[in-house]
Amino acid sequence: MALSYAPLPIVESDSTSSRKFMVGTMAVALPTLLLLVVSHKAHEGLTDQQFAVVSTMKTTVVSASAPSSSARAALLRRPAARFAGAGQPADLMEDAAAHSLAPHFRPHSPALSGWWPMTWAAAGTSLLAAALFQRWSMRASAGTRADAYQSISGDLYGTSSTAAPTSRSSWAMAATGAAATPSYSLTCLESNSFSLALGSANLLIDPWMVGSLTFADATWLFEGKKRNIAQLPFTPEEVGGVFDALVLTQGLDDHAHIPTLKRIPKSIKIIANPQAAEICRSLGFTDIETIKPGGSTTVKDVEIQAFRGSLVGPPWSEPQNGYCFKYGEFRVVTEPHGNLPTLGYQADVLIMPVVSQSIGPYPLVNGVREAVDAARQLRPRLFVPLENGEIDSSGVLSAILSEGGTIEAFAAECKASGLPTEVKRMLPYQPLALKEEAIAMTAVTGEVAANPIEKLQKDFQDFLAPFTAKSKAQQLKRDLLKKVAPLRCGAAMTKAEEAEVLAIVEELKPLNPTPATSASPLINGRWDLLWTTEKEQLFFVEKGLFGSGFVAAKQDIDVASGRLQNLIEFEKGDYFKVSSSLSSEPPVRCNFVFGSCVCKRGPLEVPLPPVGKGWFDTVYLDDTLRIAEDIRGDTLIVARERGAEPFTVPESEN
Instruction: Note the pLDDT tens digit of each residue in 225-241.
Output: 888 877 788 899 999 99
> Would you state the pLDDT for residue 183?
84
Contact 66, 113 (CB under 8 A): yes
Helix, strand, or coil here: 310? coil
Q: Which residue has the higher pLDDT, 392 or 146?
A: 392
CA 647 to chain centre: 40
Say whether pLDDT at 99 is over 70: no
Report how far residue 42's alpha carbon sits from residue 377's, in angstroms, rounded to the nearest whole number.
Answer: 23
Spans of all domains in the chain: 473-640
The DSSP call for residue 609 is -
Backbone CA torsion sign across 143, 149, 154, 157: negative
- φ/ψ of 54, rounded to 5, equals -65, -40
Mean pLDDT of all residues belonging to the chain:
73
Say whether pLDDT at 606 is over 60: yes
Apex CA 647: angle with CA 532 and CA 610, to 5°?
70
Residue 124's pLDDT band (boundaries 50, 70, 90)? low
Report how far residue 431's alpha carbon sits from residue 169's, in angstroms, rounded to the nearest whole number.
Answer: 13
Residue 174: C-alpha distances to residues 5, 152, 170, 307 (Å): 35, 29, 6, 29
Q: What's the average model confidence in pLDDT over 68-87?
A: 33
> Would you state the pLDDT for residue 514?
92
Residue 329: C-alpha distances to residues 199, 264, 347, 348 (Å): 11, 32, 9, 9
For the domain made up of 473-640, give the CATH fold. Lipocalin (2.40.128)
Report how far residue 564's alpha carbon sits from residue 525's, in angstroms, rounded to the nearest whole number.
Answer: 10
Report which secondary-structure segment, H or E, holds 305.
strand 302-308
pLDDT > 70 in the chain, percent: 65
Residue 467's pLDDT band (boundaries 50, 70, 90)? low
Count of alpha carbons within 13 Å of 34, Cβ hemisphere only? 9
CA 511 to chain centre: 13
The DSSP call for residue 111 is G
Q: Which range has the worst mean pLDDT, 83-92, 331-340, 481-490, 636-645?
A: 83-92
pTM of the model: 0.46
Residue 553: C-alpha distances to residues 37, 453, 492, 536, 604 (Å): 63, 56, 16, 12, 20
Q: Which range has the worst mean pLDDT, 266-270, 424-428, 505-509, 612-616?
A: 424-428
Q: What's the average model confidence in pLDDT over 114-121?
A: 50
Contact 58, 76 (CB under 8 A): no
Say whether pLDDT at 355 is over 50: yes
